[in-house]
Amino acid sequence: MTIEKATFAGGCFWCMVKPFDQQEGIDSVVSGYTGGHVENPTYEQVCSEKTGHLEAVQITFNPEIYPYEKLVDLYWTLIDPTDPGGQFYDRGESYTTAIFYHNEEQKRIAEESKDLLEKSGKFNKPIAVKIIPAKTFYPAEDYHQQYYKKNPLHYERYHIGSGRAAFIQHHWGKKHE
């Protein structure tokens, strides 16, 4: 059995876990921090915008069951890919978007997918998601892991209140996750 990793930054990591976690072939979805220069950062440090890290999720998956292409396709439907300043209610560098590729095949797939989305005309602004090499991934504190399961009511209020759910419904025709 082949197992691979995929890493995506899409704003608040709480909202990025559930949609991936519910797919067959996904082994785990871990909330964490990546892309910066501080080792073992804390949530407070990342929020200070001084670490260079983004909130992200790292997915361990079986590509024979759920290929990387499908992960990337799902990723686009969870974010506002045109927003360079954060995601929805959450603003600042730590909430910006990126696809962190783990090998050249992932890079190729991500770039082709981004190009197709750009050319689709679905959005009237440029796609702002960066596609960059994966760096060390630091798991977030335990209370952030699987937040949608541990705190379902707060998660639901946040997902709707942040504007993410309405954006997803409007642009992708999907009920919120």
Which residues does the annotation mark as catalytic? 12
Q: How do strand 26-34 and strand 137-139 relate by DSSP bridges?
A: antiparallel
Judge whether 51 and 126 are in contact, CB under 8 Å: no
d(CA 54, CA 45): 11
Give me the DSSP letters along 132-170.
EE---EEEPPGGGTTHHHHSHHHHHHHHHHTSHHHHHHH
Relative to beta strand 97-101, strand 86-87 is unpaired
47: number of Cβ within 10 Å: 16
**Among the listed residues 109, 91, 88, 90, the one whose alpha carbon sits nearest the alpha carbon of residue 99:** 109
- Two tokens, residue 2: 């082949």
